[in-house]
Amino acid sequence: MATWDDVRRIALALPETTERGSYDDLPAWRVRDKMFVWERPLRRGDLDALGDAAPVGPILGVRMPDPGAKEALLADDPAVHFTVPHLDGSSVVLVRLDRIEVAELTELITEAWFARAPKRLAAAHRADA
């Protein structure tokens, strides 16, 4: 299963990615100052909404390209991917870090990077890959 070290390694391997604290000064990774993955612990409102189904453990916020991509992940593996009412309508999906394989995490982080990277930078990275 994946760890924060895996998240850091995968994210920082992508072009022009920096690590800087999020709004709560928790770890977050950005491309040209646009956050694409970050530590996202559950807040009181999230815990109230999820009740007994609230996961325990490290949670990663991941910005997907659009809400449709988020919905596909939620349907694909709800044991790994989930959301909270606060994120309804957004393209952010939450990931149980202790339940995701590193290969799938790599795909998610890369997809999130492409969703936030400027078009020219993304095109140059695709051309190099």
CATH architecture of 4-123: Alpha-Beta Complex (3.90)
pLDDT score recorded for residue 24: 84
19 contacts: CB under 8 Å, gap ≥ 6: 8, 11, 12, 27, 28, 29, 30
Tens digit of each residue's pLDDT (9 = 90 or more) over 43-56: 999 999 999 999 99
Confidence check: pLDDT of 116 > 80: yes
17-19 and 28-31 beta bridge pairing: antiparallel
Rounded percentage of the chain residues whose pLDDT exceeds 90 = 95
Does residue 74 contact residue 81 with C-beta atoms inside 8 Å? yes
